[in-house]
Amino acid sequence: MSGNKVSRQKPCHHCKSRSASAPPGTSMIHYEKFWLYRHCSSVQQRDRQAQKAGQLFSGLLAMNVVFLGSAFLSSMIFNHVAITLADVWILLSILKVLCLFWITYYLLGTSRQPHAVLYRDSHAGPVWIRGSVLLFGSFSILLNVFQIGYSTILIQCKSRVEIVFPSIEILFICTQAFFLWHHSKDCIQVQHNFTRCGLMLTIATNLLLWLLAVTNDTIHMEIESQLREVERRFAGKAPTTSCICPNTTICKVFQKGYILLYPFNTEYCLVCCSVLYVMWKNVGRRISHHVPHIKPQFKLHGVVLGPLLGTMTVIIGICVFMMYQIQATGSAPNRQVFVMYYSYYIVLLPLMSVVAVIGTIIHALEKKELDTLKNPTRSLDVILLMGAALGQIGMSYFSIVAIVATDPRDLLNSLILSYSILLIFQNITQNVFIIDGLHRQPFAAATEARHTGHAGQHAAASELPGEEETTTSSKEEHTQMSPDKEGEMKEEQNHEAYVQRQVSMLELGQEIRKASLSYIHSYSHLSWKRKALKEISFFLVLCNIILWVMPTFGAHPVFENGLEKSFYGYSTWFAIVNFGLPLGVFYRMHSIGGLLEVYITA
């Protein structure tokens, strides 16, 4: 009976898979009888539940911190007496000190534990995003130095908090930049919940710093009042305030530097939030080692028209930007400079939109499969592209409403209206092209590399025996030579070295000729779809670079033309511009990274 019961028992799937390969007569092991196998699925399920619970708890912590800081900021805006700017600074200083303690603990404790960082996400923290953290962090440090210098000059009417807060900010920026540069790829495997809470606290602190930079216009208002006081003093009128800068030259340097570097601080907070979010998603993540990651290489083979047109666009844009900076920064900005600036955009934006639409159509015609593997970095890239585009789109809609409600028939107003509409369309078409390209499988060049590798191995194998024979024979001859013949051999070797030096120049010319021929060969062997995608991607990269440079380094016609500012009011339009402008700059920078990935994988 017992034998019948055993024979009636259904074999597990391990037995089924091994029955074909196992020789007859061998006993099979029923894995489903073991406790570890029966409870393996439940252990994995509990691990996933614990991971979701940790993410939920850390997300709730960040949400409460953001709500508390937003309440402080809202109270400061609507009730200056109860909650002042100094109170907000104190709250943010406490949060930054807590983040500094956690980052120090992570650097010295968590990351140095055994088996702490077994995996590293190759997609997270690319060089361009870490470089932008260092770049914007350096400018933010310089911004805080200007703020400390400006507050030190006006120490008689400034509080000590206005000097302490930027000092803590400098320490926070340096520590966070070092942390993100070295550990942005970590998939930490110990202290999951504590690491998630620390990352979310740091994200919430950066969001509050960005929100404060967007809504706080006290220093800008103070700078304008200082300029008005200087004008009154030159006119011979009595000053209306006692807080006057004693050294006008130094004050102007600090004021101009502060206004020029102000957008970089908001940009730094946004970039840090994106990198920290990827780290938060990678906590406890296990990456399979059997999946090879082929690191794409950036090569200019096969592109001609895109770099040519893009370089022309960049050169013209730099000329427009320099003329705008020279004329618009004067006491009375010329109307023609705004016409020139918006005309450049009106010519460039439709061209970028048409090129992006053509690229999207080519993507649809291609037969490349979609990449459906789990990739937190790519998911975040899509979210950031869609979210950052809302900054320019939102400002454009505000400008459209202001122009339509005032005088749309004016030349400058009609240019601004056309610019706003074209900017909305360009952002949408470029997002569709980039997102579609990021979800495509890279071009399968591995087969070509495999064939060339095999051919090289066969060629090397065919050459090796001959080389071995010559070397062995030369060794035998060398051992049989007399001492008199050694001098003759040395003379022959010197003569051969002299001949080789004469031939080196000819070989260099041949190598240059081979490189140019290989470039032409690679360009001619690309399909027309790949050629078009590479040309389009590279052209859009250069266009986004110049569109990133112009607003980043001081070209802000949306605030300087005076139309929207007079329609919405100074404080309201200041908040709108400080919300949309950093997002627009971040969108251009993030688009450059996405377009480079599309170019590499094309």
- Give yes or no: residues 174 and 322 share one domain: no
- Give yes or no: residues 259 and 361 share one domain: no
34: three-class secondary structure by DSSP? coil
Q: Which conformational region is residue 464 in: left (phi greater than 0), alpha (psi within -120 to 50 degrees), or beta?
A: alpha
Output the pTM of the full model: 0.68
Tokens of 235: 């006119």
pLDDT at 553: 75
- Give yes or no: residues 270 and 356 share one domain: no
- Give yes or no: residues 270 and 342 share one domain: no
* Mean confidence (pLDDT) of the chain: 75
DSSP letter (8 states) at residue 371:
-
pLDDT at 246: 67
Domain-terminating residue out of 230, 256, 282: 282
Domain-terminating residue out of 230, 264, 282: 282
Other beta carbons less than 10 A from residue 290's beta carbon: 4
Other beta carbons less than 10 A from residue 410's beta carbon: 13
User: 310 in a domain, yes or no?
Assistant: no
Instruction: Output the DSSP codes for 97-153.
Output: HHHHHHHHHIIIIITTSTTS--EE-SSSS-HHHHHHHHHHHHHHHHHHHHHHHHHHH
- Give yes or no: residues 336 and 437 share one domain: yes
Q: Which of 171, 53, 189, 190 is nearest to 103 (CA)?
A: 171
pLDDT at 224: 60
Please write the tens of the pLDDT for every residue from 443-472: 544 444 444 444 444 444 444 344 444 444
pLDDT at 470: 41
d(CA 439, CA 364): 12
Q: Which residues of the chain have pLDDT under 70?
A: 1-44, 80, 217-244, 246-248, 288-302, 328-333, 367-376, 440-526, 528, 554, 602
Instruction: Output the DSSP codes for 151-218.
Output: HHHTGGGS-THHHHHHHHHHHHHHHHHHHHHHHTTEE--SSHHHHHHHHHHHHHHHHHHHHHHHH--H
User: 459 in a domain, yes or no?
Assistant: no
Question: Any idea which residue has 């950066």 for tokens?
Answer: 206
DSSP letter (8 states) at residue 32:
G
- Give yes or no: residues 178 and 273 share one domain: yes
239: three-class secondary structure by DSSP? coil
User: 370 in a domain, yes or no?
Assistant: yes
Question: Any idea which residue has 């960005």 for tokens?
Answer: 210
User: 510 in a domain, yes or no?
Assistant: no
User: 410 in a domain, yes or no?
Assistant: yes
d(CA 33, CA 454): 47
Please write the tens of the pLDDT for every residue from 211-221: 888 777 666 56
Question: Any idea which residue has 């495509």 for tokens?
Answer: 440
User: 501 in a domain, yes or no?
Assistant: no
Contact of 260 with 554, CB cutoff 8 Å:
yes
370: three-class secondary structure by DSSP? strand
Tokens of 584: 């627009």
- Give yes or no: residues 327 and 201 share one domain: no
Facing residues of 186 across strands?
Answer: 120
d(CA 395, CA 581): 8
- Distances in whole angstroms, Cα of residue 142 to Cα of each of 137, 160, 177, 497: 9, 19, 14, 57
- Give yes or no: residues 426 and 326 share one domain: yes
- Give yes or no: residues 108 and 251 share one domain: yes
d(CA 477, CA 542): 63
Amino acid at 528: W
User: 198 in a domain, yes or no?
Assistant: yes
Number of domains in the chain: 2
- Give yes or no: residues 267 and 362 share one domain: no
d(CA 105, CA 393): 41
d(CA 600, CA 537): 9
* CB neighbour burial string for 485-512, b if at least 16 within 10 angstroms, e if fewer: eeeeeeeeeeeeeeeeeeeeeeeeeeee
d(CA 147, CA 137): 15
Domain that holds residue 338: 317-443+527-601
d(CA 474, CA 24): 59
- Give yes or no: residues 63 and 106 share one domain: yes
- Give yes or no: residues 263 and 345 share one domain: no
Residue 227 half-sphere exposure toward CB, CA atoms < 13 A: 11
pLDDT at 30: 44
User: 304 in a domain, yes or no?
Assistant: no
Instruction: Output the DSSP codes for 474-507.
Output: HHHHHHH--HHHHHHHHHHHHHHHHHHHHHHHHH
